[in-house]
């Protein structure tokens, strides 16, 4: 069985965790409804670099859609510590690709802590732009 996932941080092209998606089908760049807030959670223990979290809010998040198989889906759950650290939630996203019908139902990992006041907000909602990492999917 296949699943659509929407990735917005370290799983995007140009970041270290993207290797998990190497064998998955890239669908395209997409964005959420303006119902979310992205925060910079800082460096991950073990010096794997900074990473974001998304919680309910009023902003739009930019990311990438991938079609993944069951094994990759489980690997993503383990990486995101679902459901304790991030919780997988089904949402609608809108692709910039003209051949992808809108909306697309995808799974997105939502940060579990609702008290994110101590973290810097990523106002653009685009982790690649925030970290100055050029990717194939960074929007102008």
| Cis check: omega of the bond before 83, within 30 degrees of 0 | yes
Domain of 126, in residue numbers: 2-130
Segment 10-42, tens digit of pLDDT: 999 988 899 999 999 999 999 999 999 999 998
Distances (CA, A) of 94 to 15, 104, 116, 129: 22, 6, 26, 19
Task: Based on the residue annotation, tell me whether 67 is a catalytic residue of this protein.
Answer: no
What is the pLDDT, as a whole number, of residue 135? 63
The pTM for the full model equals 0.91
| Signed CA dihedral, 133, 3, 48, 54: sign only | positive
- How far apart are the C-alpha atoms of 119 and 4, rounded to whole Å? 29
Count of the separate structural domains present in the chain: 1
Q: Is residue 138 part of a domain?
A: no
Cα angle 111, 118, 32 (rounded to 5 degrees) comes to 40
Cβ atoms < 10 Å from Cβ of 74: 12
What is the pLDDT, as a whole number, of residue 139? 42
Q: Is residue 136 part of a domain?
A: no
Residue 42: which CATH number?
A: 3.10.490.10
- Does 135 or 23 have the greater pLDDT score? 23
Statement: residue 47 has pLDDT above 60: no
Q: Is residue 137 part of a domain?
A: no
Instruction: Spot the catalytic one: 35, 80, 90, 121.
Output: 80
What is the pLDDT, as a whole number, of residue 133? 81
- How far apart are the C-alpha atoms of 133 and 140, rounded to whole Å? 13
Statement: residue 50 has pLDDT above 90: no
Q: What is the mean pLDDT of the chain?
A: 91
The percent of residues in the chain predicted with pLDDT above 70, rounded, is 91
How many CA within 13 A on the CB side of residue 62? 18
What is the pLDDT, as a whole number, of residue 7? 98
Q: What is the mean pLDDT of residues 42-48?
A: 65
């Amino acid at each position: 069985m296949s699943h659509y996932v929407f990735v917005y941080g370290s799983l995007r092209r140009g970041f270290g965790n993207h290797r998990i998606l190497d064998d998955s089908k890239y669908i395209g760049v997409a964005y959420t409804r303006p119902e979310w807030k992205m925060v910079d959670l800082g460096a991950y223990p073990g010096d794997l670099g900074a990473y974001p979290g998304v919680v309910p809010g009023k902003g739009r998040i930019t990311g990438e859609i991938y079609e993944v198989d069951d094994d990759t889906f489980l690997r993503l759950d383990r990486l995101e510590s679902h459901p304790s650290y991030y919780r997988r939630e089904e949402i609608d996203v809108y692709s910039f690709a003209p051949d992808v019908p809108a909306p697309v139902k995808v799974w997105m990992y939502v940060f579990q802590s609702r008290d994110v006041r101590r973290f810097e907000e990523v106002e653009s909602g685009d982790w690649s732009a925030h970290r100055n990492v050029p990717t194939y999917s960074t929007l102008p």
